[in-house]
Each structure stands twice: as structure tokens, then as C-alpha cells.
Structure 1
């Protein structure tokens, strides 16, 4: 299926690894020119070079979105070779902390990194989309924004805020051909998650092979209809769809890509 992204330019924040990298690679494969963003120039350039070697078009923008200056620099670099039609707000981070350990300073830092960073890029790029009467904004949220764990509450709350701002932006864009939607991943298998689960397996009695660990840990932690973790490419597929013309009639939606997760209890 051709998602009709040829000729579009997309900035994917936090795209030097994980979900962001998978999204950038798929958008490039669908014909979009992608801007790889990160805080490390070498890592960003390596991803861009790999995409170019595969026949895609890619540029690089480096900057810390946790600051106004970093967001200015990122936007300047992203716009250097043309307009940005698609903004994928993926950048963010978190620490595994309990309610007792997540101090107010941690909450403020997490909100800045996970929420205000996206606001900075929206305010720098969406006005031009509105003027051209075309654009796509996709915010990467998460299942923990709707079904939070009792741990890392600062991160759970920041995901809920990302969902909320995506819908608020959609309402603000009413009547234009600029859309804003949210993709909410469930538990996704990236190397750090696999390493964490493998280390925890002996204590939890999940088995020795990865097949056993995946099946048993999913049933205990994030029960879902597929009885497995999602893959980054599956999140990228949902984002790519929302970026194209077939999603013109989708506004302020939260697309869950979580295998049908119905509860979370770590």
C-alpha cells in the first residue's frame, strides 16, 4: 500500500534509536524525506546515513528540546532544506522511581522533557503548517497515560499530559487541513526492555529462554490479547498511516497499539 508520503518532509524527534528510529525508517521507505533528531550528532548522522544507503532521503537536526535554545536550533536545522510537513513528537525519557523517590524536582524535570519539549516544537513548526493549510502532528503517548502503574508516577502523568495536548491541538486546528493525533504504545520490545526482563526472570520464575520469559512476563505484567510485547515497527506503522492522506478524517484520536492491554500491574 502506498501511503502517499513522497514529497513530504518529516521531523521525528528522538529518532536515533527505538520507536523514533523505526518511525523514521518507515516514513523514509514510504517516500518522505526525514529529519533525524537527537542530542548526539554522531548517532543522528549514523541513522541518517543508513537511511540514505537504503535509498531514502534524510537530514539531521541536533538539539536539546528541554531548552528553548535547543528547540530553536532543532527547528532551524530541520527547516534548512525545506518546509516540515510532518512533526512526530517522540522525544522523552523517564526513570524507574517510586512515589517516595520521585521528588517534585523530578516531576518538574520529567514534565519539561516529556511535555514542554513537544510544545516547543509545536509552537515553532505548526504555525507554518497552518499558513500552508497542510500538516500532520503525531504525538507518541503511551498506555501508562491511561492505565498507570503504581511506580514512576511522574512518567505516567507526563504521558497523560501528552495525550491531552494532542487533543487540545486538534481542537485548535479545527477547520484546517492540519491534523493532530496520538499513538499510544503498550509495552514495546526494545533492547533495554528485553535486558531488564531477562535480568528479572530468575527472581520471577519466568523461565530461561526468551520465548518463555516473554510469554510469562506478559501474562504477569501487561496481559493482552496477543500475549506478547509489541515491536517498534508496529508503532511506526500506526504513525505512518496518520501522516498520510488516508488519515485526513482522523482528528484528536488516540490510536492504541497495545495488543488489547486491559490492565497493568507491575
Structure 2
């Protein structure tokens, strides 16, 4: 993948940052994207210190101005994009007590954040990939897309739409040399989860130790068959495979990487 050019949205921390680091280690020139300049630049410097090539793009992808700024910065960085990783997403709110507690505004915001932002970037960069007869579009979805929790109905529905988008795009790109695939992560550890683990530990175990909360969640909440939390590198490795020439015979597929937490065939 040496000298290929990638944009990884939401890559100033967490899963996105690890995807960017791993792609850069494979020789890909990576555009780091986020909303916080200091965090974006920190990831770019880390990649450059390790011998890779990185540029930056700032913008809130829920706004027209932010998407436009991101597209322009990514185009100017290396002259185009060959690999688009739509990693930005997430729930628009905290978990709800019941399915009926989420407002219609939240449903719309979740769709704009998780699905429409990806559509806008695909429309911006995929025409160039088709002209060059090579490209990779990779969506970061969620296991909630096929095995949703009631408390995250809006988020799960938006991610299900992203899976559908991935397949329909692959058909639209038939015979072009551009593939469309996705990854559905399960519960992946990032430092932002520690406050939740502390809350769980205090409520369920009677301690403020995050590891006690982790153990409780693994046993009683996600019901994994792999006895550890997922790590950002688990998702980054899958993205690197999908971005590489090794995946030439694969398109329209969304990989489930969740430690065996999804109790279904699909």
C-alpha cells in the first residue's frame, strides 16, 4: 500500500487514531481528521516521528461547513484520496431507560452523524477513485447494526443503514476497481470507557476499581466468548486488510469483530 493516500475520519483518538497509525506503518500517506487541532496534530506528529507521512484536516462532519473544510483539506494534502475510512460516528446521547425515551430529533441526529456524513464523503472522493480504477471505501459500523440494544435504538438503526449503504455502494462500483466494505466492532476499550466501568463497579461490585467493572461487563453485559476486551488494534488490523490488495476479491461485506458477542449467524 506504499504511497496510497487515506482519509480516516475521527482519527484524533481511539479506534480512528489506531487505524491511521497502522495504515501509516504500511506506507500509506494518511490524513488525520478531527475537531480538536491539538489532538489531530499530536497523532500526525506521532506518525511522522515513526517515519510515516501524515497531514491534518479539521471539521465537524455534522455541519456543511465542517464537511466542506474536511474535503478541501484532504484533497490538498496529497492530491487525492485512494482509501476512505468512514470512522466518525457514535450515539447522539447516553443510553435510555426504554426504547421510547429517544426523541425524534435524536433519531435524525444519529442518522446525520453516522450515515449522512459518510454519504457526503463518498460522493466527494469516490468519483476520483473510479477514474483511477482503484480505491477502497471502508465503513466503521457496529455490532448493534445486526444485534441492537433497546437503549440505543437510534444509533443501531443508523449503523444498520450504514451496512446497507456499504452493500449498495459495492454494486454501484461494479467493475471499477473500487471496493466497498465495512467492519462491525463490538465493545472496544478506549480510556473514555473507564468512567462507565467505575460506575458499573460501584453499582454491581461495591468498588471503584475500573477492572472490576470491566470483568462484570464482560460476564454479564456483552456475553463475549473471547475473554478480553477488544482493542483498537483489532479493528485497525481488519481495516488494513480491507484497504490492501489482499482484499481484491472482497466487496459489499461487513466484517463482525466483536469477541463472539453477537448471538446470530449474520
Band the TM-score falls in, shorter-chain normalisation: over 0.9
Report what 2:88 is aligned to: 91
User: Equivalent residue for 1:201?
Assistant: 201
Kindly tell me: are residues 206 and 245 of structure 1, through their superposed partners in 2, closer, same or farther at Cα, counting changes over 3 Å? farther
Q: Which residue of 1 aligns with 2:141?
A: 141
Q: Which residue of 2 aligns with 1:37?
A: 33
Q: Is structure 2 residue 61 aligned with structure 1 residue 78?
A: no
Contact 1:214 1:228 in 2 (8 A): no
Match of 1:65 in 2: 61
Task: Look up the match of 1:23.
Answer: 19
Mapped pair 1:110 → 2:106? no
1:213 is aligned to: 213
CA distance in 1, matches of 2:106, 2:211: 36
In the superposition, the TM-score normalised over structure 2's length comes to 0.93
Contact 1:167 / 1:252 at 8 angstroms: preserved in 2? yes
Secondary structure at 1:152 match in 2 = helix
User: Is 2:52 aligned against 1:56?
Assistant: yes
Deviation beyond 6 Å, 4+ runs, structure 1: none
Q: Give the Cα–Cα distance (whole angstroms) in 1 for the partners of residues 251 and 206 of structure 2.
A: 41
More off after superposition, 201-210 vs 110-119: 201-210
Q: For structure 2, which runs of at least 5 residues remain unmatched after alignment? A: none
Aligned-residue CA RMSD in angstroms?
1.6
Kindly indicate whether the alpha-carbon contact (under 8 Å) linking 1:86 and 1:243 is maintained by their aligned counterparts in 2.
Answer: yes
- Find the residue that maps to 1:251 and give its secondary structure: coil
Query: Are 1:13 and 2:16 an aligned pair?
Result: no
TM-score normalized by structure 1? 0.93
Q: When the two structures are aligned, how many residues end up with a matched partner? A: 260
Query: Cα 1:226–1:207, aligned 2, differ >3 Å: closer, same or farther?
Result: farther
Separation (CA, whole Å) in 2 of partners of 1:88 and 1:23: 9
Q: Secondary structure at the match of 2:121?
A: helix
Q: Deviations over 1:17-62 (max 9, x none)?
A: 1110010010011111100001222221121111111111000011
Structure 1 residue runs without a partner (length 5+): none
Checking the alignment, whether the CA contact within 8 Å between 1:13 and 1:89 is kept in structure 2 is: yes
* 2:217 is equivalent to residue 233 of structure 1: no
Instruction: Deviation per CA, 1:225-260: give whole Å up to 9, x if none.
Output: 112210001100000110000000011111111111
